[in-house]
Amino acid sequence: MSCTDRKVIRCRAAVAWEAGKPLVIEEVEVAPPQAMEVRLKVLYTALCHTDVYFWEAKGQTPVFPRIFGHEAAGIVESVGEGVTELKPGDHVLPVFTGECKECRHCKSEESNMCDLLRINTDRGVMLNDGKSRFSINGKPIYHFVGTSTFSEYTVVHVGCLAKINPAAPLDKVCILSCGVSTGLGATLNVAKPPKGSTVAIFGLGAVGLSAAEGARIAGASRIIGVDLNPKRFHQAKMFGVTEFVNPKDYDKPVQEVIAEMTDGGVDRSVECTGNINAMISAFECVHDGWGVAVLVGVPNKDDAFKSHPMNFLNERTLKGTFFGNYKPRTDLPSVVEMYLKKELELEKFITHEVTLSEINKAFDYMLNGESIRCIIRMD
């Protein structure tokens, strides 16, 4: 369907009417895509901790009613004016951040932080006209990070869609839209552990396990998982983790424990918790001379990172990353190909599957710590 076919689509969506309350399956109207927008049929989506965090709205600007969801895979239904790279029938991954291909960040080989389409969690409308494409009886329902995939149809800026190989199973590659790519890229693109190196992963949730998967793919000889929850240790073995450290088991800082285990420190570390003390430990546990620590977790706004300057002068490197340094449109298709070539294993991340009408079960699984990723089928 082209931009000239201006039809509203009525479909089901899981609407969050207010913070922390169960989502409600409603019939919503989805307006046609405007200039540089694409309307897609969502086939599979997944629940990420970020959805839960903003649904709870305990420390952010509440924007309700809203349709959450940002890890997904679907098929292009129609395109708006000016869209030339996608056509109806194309398989795509919607992404919470984008790539306009025109700004300084997009033209830089070193950055993926697009000026136009960088994540904005407070904005609930489309960039083109400042309006929502969702409504119920004329009342607007707000978007979430430009994706809103807890709906059978959604409208997304073309710069936030990665066109992928149609041979890829959408119920698997949908999880590449956020957490898996974030952790995987933090290791492969930023930490870059040499084959045979030692790597410490702080936090063994979905992003941390993805970082461990990256270390496994890179050929690390030792992957040390650090987490306060011992229940996560057995599961992490599937992702290549070889040793486990629970900071609560020691009466000394965990960076000292790791340094003793590794003859002075690990070659690389990846921090995936957002806890400021874990960030400091992740930096201070890398070996002097060549050690690199990568921060992935998002800290509280008032946190301050404190470490003695000598840790830097002794040639330890501290880096940060956003979405694993992947450019969504340019790089995600190659990550999908890694899966198709069986270099990257995705099935082990998927612990549960529900239908859209059962979406609140997915929230329960995550809140109870039972799931890594729960897939939500739209049928």
DSSP assignment of 16-50, as one string?
A: B-STTSPPEEEEEEEPPP-TTEEEEEEEEEE--HH
Q: Which of 114, 174, 285, 374 is catalytic?
A: 114
Q: Do residues 220 and 199 make contact, with C-beta atoms less than 8 angstroms apart?
A: yes
Q: How far apart are CA 259 and CA 273, in angstroms?
A: 20
Judge whether 265 and 286 are in contact, CB under 8 Å: yes
**Catalytic annotation on 285?**
no
373 is annotated as an active-site residue: yes
The single residue of 97, 100, 187, 352 carrying the catalytic annotation is 100
**Distance (Å, whole) CA 221 – CA 267:** 11
Q: Running DSSP on this structure, what letter comes out for residue 178?
A: T
Among 3, 11, 12, 118, the one annotated catalytic: 118
**Which among 70, 157, 287, 352 is annotated as catalytic?**
70
From 37, 48, 216, 287, active-site residue: 48
Active site includes 50? yes
Distance between the two ends of the chain, CA-based, in angstroms? 22
Q: 3-class SS at 198?
A: strand
Catalytic residue among 216, 232, 268, 373: 373
Could you say which of 39, 106, 154, 187 is catalytic? Answer: 106
Which among 71, 99, 152, 284 is annotated as catalytic? 71
Sign of CA dihedral 350, 351, 353, 354: negative
User: Is residue 118 annotated as part of the catalytic site, yes or no?
Assistant: yes
- The active-site residue, picked from 12, 49, 123, 377, is 49
The catalytically annotated residue of 37, 45, 50, 91 is 50
Q: Can you read off the two tokens belonging to residue 61? A: 């600007």
Residues contacting residue 324 through CB under 8 Å, at least 6 positions apart: 181, 182, 183, 184, 185, 186, 188, 189, 190
**Active site residue: 178, 272, 285, 374, which one?**
178
* Catalytic site positions: 48-50, 70-71, 100, 103, 106, 114, 118, 178, 373
